[in-house]
Amino acid sequence: MTNLEKYNQAFIEVLEVEVDQLSELKYQDIESWDSVGHMELVATIEDVFDIMMETDDIIDLNSYAKGKEILSSNYGIDF
Amino acid sequence: MIEINKKNIRVWSMLGMRRMIGPIMEDIVCYHDNIIFSTADLGRYFAYEGLLAKYPEHVVNFGIAEQNLIGASAALQKEGFNVFASTYATFITSRVLDQIRVNVGIMGFGIKLVGGAGGISDGNFSATHMAIEDIANLRTIPNITIICPADGMELVKTLLWMADFDGPVYVRLTGRANMPIINKVDYNFEVGKAIVCREGTDVAIVSNGTILGEVLAAAELLAENGIDCKVINMHTLKPLDKEMLFSIQNMKLVVTVEEHMKTGGLGGAMAEFYAEQSSHPRMLLLGIEGAYPDPGEYEELLIECGLKAESIADRIEEVLNQ
């Protein structure tokens, strides 16, 4: 799987969304992306990329797009 | 069904204990028809939104009326429900002490008391929201099992056990979001059986709750100075694991560390036990003493109360050198 596919899959599985919902998706836009859903999403992302995210990054990850930016600039993950 | 795996252990750590309650109860009520989550208007505090939305028949909110919470929870117990009565630890113990004394101690109703912000973790709300004499208060009431889980996984195991247990229980939640993971892999949890987190031969440090993270760090600092510490998670304060206490009786020093007044908590309970034996170890009781702390952030308060790893290690070394 490419990094983008892994990233998308984390959102799709945890938040139970379709791939065409991802690009504009933001925290609390949907019921499943609440605080608990957010923790599950972060834990899944950490698992698939074998990283441990910093608290500030966990808080800043407030959209699908922002998440890609954070992973790319702070964790060296290329999409 | 709650899965214990690496991902969930991480999620629970990030959430912190109080925000685990609602999601875990959602799973528990699927298998236990008779469970009620009752609260004194702190449902959101325990992240109960999902539970309320999916299983409203399992939730009762009594409003900010803690004495009524206990009285009504006792009535529900009498009708065959298993009630998890949940609010701040200081309110579910000290504020309602008479209701617990009567309904639980005297009448024997098996209410499950869930106390959030045990210790000083919500100390930014001042001492009125610190629970630092709760263990002392409840230890004297007969038949209440008292458990202070070390981390998220231990809290899950405690809640699952409580769901099947008829008697009264007080479970004390400690720490905040991003709490330390003490148990990194699944293990056999048994109420009343302490767990050795770190083997050692010189000093035994006995503790519970999330403060175990500081205790383990203190043990590492002491190891650098040639002091080998055994760290024990005494998650069940009542009943104490007497076999474990006997096993450490001959160590150079037995230390207790707790987010609680020095008097009447874990240290006091262990001292009472040892006082009745023909020989007993030298003890050092570390906890909060002298006065109620001023309001402050959790990390600041841990420093002020001497409960950070460096302070714990320093005190142990100081006593050993006396």
pLDDT tens digits, residue range B88-142? 999 999 999 999 999 999 999 999 999 999 999 999 999 999 999 999 999 999 9
Look up residue B101 and give its amino acid: R
Q: Rg of chain B over CA atoms, in angstroms?
A: 19
Q: Cα distance from B55 to chain A (closest Cα, Å)?
A: 17
Count how many residues are written for chain A: 79
The mean pLDDT value for A10-31 works out to 94
Look up residue B173 and give its amino acid: L
Look up residue B310 and give its amino acid: E
Which of A39, A44, A51 is the best residue to mutate to test the B interface, defined by the most B CB atoms within 10 Å of its own CB? Answer: A39
Within 8 A of B46 by CB-CB distance, chain A residues are none
Q: What's the pLDDT score for residue A36?
A: 86
Tokens encoding A7: 């990233």
Touching A: B residues 52-91, CB under 8 Å = none
Answer yes or no: do A39 and B49 touch at CB < 8 A.
no
pLDDT tens digits, residue range B228-251? 999 999 999 999 999 999 999 999
Contact with chain A for residue B5, Cβ under 8 A? no
The mean pLDDT value for B139-149 works out to 97
Q: Cα distance from A39 to chain B (closest Cα, Å)?
A: 6
* Closest of A45, A11, A50, A43 to residue A27, by C-alpha: A11
Contact B241, B194 (CB under 8 A): yes
* Closest of B247, B244, B311 to residue B284, by C-alpha: B311
Q: What's the pLDDT score for residue B16?
A: 96
Q: What interface predicted TM-score (ipTM) does this complex get?
A: 0.76
pLDDT tens digits, residue range A22-61? 999 999 999 899 888 999 999 999 999 999 999 999 999 9
Indicate the pLDDT class of residue B1, thresholds 50, 70 and 90. confident
Report the distance separating Cα B42 and Cα B38, nearest Å: 9
What residue of B is the nearest CA neighbor of A48?
A: B7
Q: What's the pLDDT score for residue B145?
A: 98
Within 8 A of B15 by CB-CB distance, chain A residues are 35-36, 39
* Closest of B140, B88, B131, B57 to residue B292, by C-alpha: B131
What residue of A is the nearest CA neighbor of B53?
A: A31
Tokens encoding B253: 């020093």
Contact with chain A for residue B249, Cβ under 8 A? no
Is the pLDDT at B209 greater than 90, yes or no? yes
Tokens encoding B54: 């999916």
Which one of B10, B15, B49 has the shortest CB-CB distance to A46? Answer: B10
Contact A42, A58 (CB under 8 A): yes
* Closest of B269, B45, B17 to residue B144, by C-alpha: B269
Is the pLDDT at B11 greater than 90, yes or no? yes
Answer yes or no: do B14 and A47 touch at CB < 8 A.
no
The mean pLDDT value for B185-191 works out to 96
Report the distance separating Cα B225 and Cα B5, nearest Å: 36
pLDDT tens digits, residue range B249-265? 999 999 999 999 999 99
Look up residue B60 and give its amino acid: V
Contact with chain A for residue B239, Cβ under 8 A? no
Q: What is the mean pLDDT of chain B?
A: 97
What residue of B is the nearest CA neighbor of A46?
A: B7
Q: Cα distance from B33 to chain A (closest Cα, Å)?
A: 24
Pairs of CB atoms within 8 A across A/B: 28
* Closest of B193, B203, B215 to residue B250, by C-alpha: B203
Touching A: B residues 96-155, CB under 8 Å = none
Contact with chain A for residue B23, Cβ under 8 A? yes
Q: What's the pLDDT score for residue B290?
A: 85
Q: What's the pLDDT score for residue B244?
A: 98
| Strand residue runs (E) in chain B | 35-39, 59-61, 82-88, 112-116, 145-147, 169-172, 195-198, 203-207, 229-233, 236-238, 253-261, 283-288
pLDDT tens digits, residue range B19-77? 999 999 999 999 999 999 999 999 999 999 999 999 999 999 999 999 999 999 999 99
